[in-house]
Amino acid sequence: MAFMRKQAVVEALDINTITPDDAEKRITAGVKKYATNEANFASADANTPYLGHIVGMGIESSNLADITMSIERQFLTKMTTKTPVTEGSSEYKLTAGELGKLRILDGQDALAATPGLSVKMLMDLGHMAKNDAYLEKVMSFAYVMATGDGWKMADALKKMAGKAEKLAGAERSEALANLKTLISQAKDYDALLADSSKLAASKQKAYVNDKGGFDALSSELNLTLDKIKGASTGGDAATLAKLRGEEAEIRTRLKMSAAKLRVSQEVSDAAGKRRAIEDKKVAEVRAALQSSVSAAEKLS
């Protein structure tokens, strides 16, 4: 359950009248009521994940839309004019216009996993001027994901070792066998984090798999559209209605697959690129993994 705070009316500010650091502080303060890890929230910075309880704020995934709406409520922007993405398209983007409420369109927040990445999102969308000095301290989405997996593994290993230590007899033997498997996985992941080229290769493989799934759905949609075209000329209302239902289902799956693919591509593209901030965060999680492995090996 999220810890309580005094509710206050937040006055929306023109986002271009404040610094990126100030925007980050407002974004972080705005999600406090959804956070369940008070300690992590109290020490949160640009790179503290919204989700997760180990190093994150403990916000549930069901509150992701609330995070986005909180950002929208806090800022005003001049990017308010709806402009079709392509001529005649029903999809639109936001371009410069009169000062008004900030809006984040569907899918634009997919990579905003931390306050710093939320600020980066606002810069990328043109709501704020790009600030390279600020962005230099913001860990990439790829490494939020990569280090997050490492923290989960270190925590799981620590908990499994603690549980195994209390067992005896056959239960202990079984637990120690499982512990050895997890130790091996933790060592492998530590080695993967140590080599950015190997990490990038593994993420590229994941992207290729996701791309294959997306392409397969695209082909399925095109095949269904061809069937709809044939049914339309044949005048078979029942068949046409069934095909329209299939089309709607495929489009929903395709939209979800596209969102997953975007995330997968971002991770794949950035996994091989490390700056000082990524090196620092990788070093922290590798130390945690190695500590958990060392403690677990004393039992096994």
Would you kindly state where each structural domain of the chain is located, as residue ranges? Answer: 13-138, 139-300
From residue 149, how far is each of 189, 227, 232, 253 by CA, in Å?
9, 43, 49, 26
Contact assessment for residue 200 and residue 168, using Cβ atoms and an 8 Å cutoff: no
pTM score: 0.88
CA–CA dist 282, 140 (Å, integer): 12
Of the candidates 289, 272, 300, the residue with the CA atom closest to the CA atom of residue 197: 272
Q: pLDDT at position 278, please?
A: 97
Give me the count of residues in the chain.
300
Q: Which of 12, 286, 7 is nearest to 149 (CA)?
A: 286
Task: Look at residue 114 and tell me whether its pLDDT is greater than 70.
Answer: yes
Question: 16-71, pLDDT tens digit by residue?
Answer: 999 999 999 999 999 999 999 999 999 999 999 999 999 999 999 999 999 999 99
pLDDT at 215 over 50: yes
User: Is the confidence at residue 2, as pLDDT, over 50?
Assistant: no
Q: Looking up tokens 């100030």, which residue turns up?
A: 22
**pLDDT given at position 8:** 54
pLDDT in tens, 66-88: 999 999 999 999 999 999 988 77
The CATH number of domain 139-300, selected from 1.10.3470, 1.10.287, 1.20.140, 2.60.120 = 1.10.287
| Rounded to 5°, angle at Cα 135 from 201 and 282 | 45
Contacts of 226 (CB under 8 A, 6+ apart): none
* Distance (Å, whole) CA 284 – CA 246: 48
pLDDT band at 231 (very low <50, low <70, confident <90, very high): confident
C-alpha distance from residue 133 to each of 130, 138, 187, 227, 277 (Å): 9, 10, 35, 54, 12
| Residue-wise pLDDT tens digits, 239-287 | 999 999 999 999 999 999 999 999 999 999 999 999 999 999 999 999 9
* 232: pLDDT strictly greater than 90: no
